[in-house]
Chain A
Amino acid sequence: MKIVACYKIVPDAQDIAVRFDGSLDLERSEWIIGEYDLVAIEAATRLAEVSAGSAVLLSAGGKELTDSKLIKSALSRGAQELYCVVDQAVANADAFQIASVLAQALKKLEYDLVICGEGSSDLYAQQVGPLLGSLAGVTTINAVSKIDIQGNAVIVERTLEREVEVLQLALPAVISVTTDINLPRIPQLKDILAAGKKPVTIWSVSDVGALPPSNVQTVSTRAPSSIERQQVIYEDASEENIKKLALDIKAAR
């Protein structure tokens, strides 16, 4: 089976500082692979291993994407090859634009299954996977918590609120996986060394198609404001205290 895993690079959240006006200072943040996308890469790699198939990586973004350490980091996790669409316009693109560019790039690749993370680690809109599937015109499923291969069939599970849905996918398909599907491997030195030798293909947007206009206007990006700790202690879980807690929370909002 031919599998494609999509990933996005994001600023390392650990080092994002909040300025006093609530705006974000990314100066000290290094670019890393989104943590939800590491799960998608791992799912693709494991599936390729059990199906004796192949796993390749696909990403779209600004020129940071071609940083050789980031490329080695991506390829040290088991996939054979990397494709990326690099353009400064894509760096600030919205979810629809990214999904469009990825869908255009997918046309150049052979695939049975595309795996996305459940959302990006920075914006977490959970849009790109479902948009990509519908733009590509293939089966589109999100919230996948398990993937099984039985013969030629791909069976997935979705853990819903009250039930576990078990579905057989009509291929090709684009799925988004949840974080409980696996624990991403830790690359060993031999994987890191091998990653430097794997093929990387870099396209511009015009190589794959064109960037559609954006439908989203970002007005501002602000960290949620925090309030002082109230230091209220409720002695026990009596009916009265619970009511009081609820009232206090409502009053604080």
Chain B
Amino acid sequence: MDFKKTEEQELLLESLRTAYQRANLEEYFKACDRDHVFPEKAVAAMVDAGIPSLGIPEEYGGTEVDLLTQVMVAEEAYALGWPSLCWVNYSTEVDDILTFGNKQQQESVLNYALRGIKPFTLGFTEPQAGSDSAAMATTATKRDGKVYINGNKTFNTSADRAPYLLCVARSGINENPYKDFSMYLFPMDRPGISIEKLDKIGNNMCGTFEVYLKDVECDPSDLVGEEGKGFYQLMKNFEIERTTICSANVGMARCAYDEAVRYAGQREQFGKPIGSFQLIQEKIVDMRIKIENMQNMLYRTAWKRDNGQSISIDSSLLKRYTGQAAFSVIDDALQIMGGIGYVNDCRISRLWRDQRVYRIMAGTEEIMVHTAGRALLKEAL
């Protein structure tokens, strides 16, 4: 077994680090976080370095590369301090549209992704349908050769910036909800769409919105994939999404760890560096164990997917474990910093606020038990 990165991966990570350092982002991110603005300038630096093109087929102007390399690059960016929910490589959206979209949808979505713009906000969550996705009530009604969308989505990431909504809605063709959902992709500036911003405790640089859909007129060609297969497609989306977002868990934990360990070596109390106290060393050791475990799990899940193996169980295990482990690593890092860790000037405070949501969004850690638990029992029989 070979744990070494390929030379190409190492050189790519070097390019990422050079681009990151040249752009001088630390103070900029601090200001964006304080002012609740999206870090456009940082994204532009990554676009210049070609990072968003990773994983997009060559015929669309990208550079084909496996998912493993994509998650490694994302993880490294977060480890350097890149803000949560703002990464420029839209692996999940790209995978969704390449798997289920038609030619025209692929062209427009990939074109945005190539420029580091989140192509669409995914709309599955509704006020009454969170973990229970089958309770979604948004409808897609056919009338006079058109399709009309009505409903209320919520928690839509970047609905203010994303040019499209990928909306899951009931088609009204089957009593069984699992066989009744369809996905539609349409521009966010269509008549009948309005949005309202949610006031969150973290992830300030990336807005989250309610989306109201009132008689939004779609063409039948706005359908993504097959009618009635929307739920199945959503589950496939989750496998990739749960894998790619976990690069943030690993990277943010590394970011907090690096800073805290450095601090532990410098900060003196009782005449010695606090790192010489075993209670601090225990934290550092346990943080490191969690980071190693998270990284191994992340890479293995991506590797399995790259090798055509199912990751339906792995992606749930990965999301549950890394969400909790990263939370505990960052929490310990904050503890090592003492009071300084609790002020906004310290980056760890941002990581602490931002990472918390990874235990909730894209399937809560309880739902990961629900999805993986049943499958594991079935596997044992």
A residues with CB within 8 A of B: 68-69, 72-73, 76, 183, 186-190, 192-193, 196
Contacts and interface: CB of A to CB of B under 8 A. Distances in A.
A188 B7 contact: no
A76 B22 CA distance: 19
Contacts of B19: 186
Nearest to A73: B11
Contacts of B48: 186
A196 B8 contact: yes
A73 B8 CA distance: 9
Nearest to B14: A73
B216 to A, nearest CB: 38
Q: Taking each of B15, B49, B50, which has the highest tally of chain A beta carbons within 10 Å of its own beta carbon?
A: B15
Contacts of A76: 11
Chain B interface residue bracket vs A: 10 to 19
B10 interface: yes
Nearest to B7: A69
Contact of A187 (B15, B22, B53): B15
A131 to B, nearest CB: 31
B53 A188 contact: yes
Contacts of A196: 8
A190 B63 contact: yes
B18 A192 contact: no
Nearest to B19: A186
B63 to A, nearest CB: 5
B113 interface: no
Contact of A190 (B7, B10, B18, B50): B50
A252 to B, nearest CB: 26
B49 A69 contact: no
Contacts of B12: 189, 192
Nearest to A67: B7
A193 B8 CA distance: 7
A189 B54 contact: yes
Contact of B49 (A68, A73, A188): A188
A189 B19 CA distance: 13
Contacts of A183: 22
6 contacts: A72-B8, A186-B15, A188-B63, A189-B54, A192-B11, A193-B63
Contacts of A193: 8, 63
Contacts of B10: 69
B65 interface: yes
Contacts of A73: 11, 14
| Chain B binding surface SS class | helix
A10 to B, nearest CB: 15
Q: Taking each of B8, B10, B19, which has the highest tally of chain A beta carbons within 10 Å of its own beta carbon?
A: B8
Contacts of B7: 68-69, 72
A193 B75 CA distance: 21
Nearest to A190: B63
A189 B49 CA distance: 9
Given A72-B11, A189-B53, A193-B8, 10 more contacts: A68-B7, A73-B14, A188-B15, A188-B49, A188-B63, A189-B50, A189-B54, A189-B63, A190-B63, A192-B8
A76 B63 CA distance: 15
A188 B49 CA distance: 6
A68 B8 CA distance: 10
A189 B65 contact: yes
Nearest to A68: B7
Contacts of A68: 7
Interface string B281-312: 00000000000000000000000000000000
Nearest to B17: A186
A179 B49 CA distance: 21
Nearest to B48: A186
B50 A188 contact: yes
Interface in B44-74: 48-50, 53-54, 63, 65
Nearest to B45: A186
B11 A186 contact: no
B91 to A, nearest CB: 14
A193 B48 CA distance: 18
A69 B14 CA distance: 12
A187 B18 CA distance: 10
B49 A186 contact: yes
Interface in B2-28: 7-8, 10-12, 14-15, 18-19, 22
Closest 3 CB pairs of A and B: A188-B50, A69-B7, A190-B63
A68 to B, nearest CB: 6
Nearest to B62: A190
Contacts of B8: 72, 189, 192-193, 196
A68 B54 CA distance: 23
A236 to B, nearest CB: 30
A72 B10 CA distance: 11
Q: Taking each of A188, A189, A190, A196, which has the highest tally of chain B beta carbons within 10 Å of its own beta carbon?
A: A189
A183 B45 CA distance: 14
Contacts of B65: 189
B258 to A, nearest CB: 15
A33 to B, nearest CB: 11
A149 B310 CA distance: 57
A186 B63 contact: no
Nearest to A193: B8
A83 B151 CA distance: 65
Q: Taking each of B7, B18, B50, B65, which has the highest tally of chain A beta carbons within 10 Å of its own beta carbon?
A: B7
Nearest to A184: B18
Contacts of B15: 186-189, 192
B54 A186 contact: no
A73 to B, nearest CB: 6
Contacts of B50: 188-190
Nearest to B69: A189
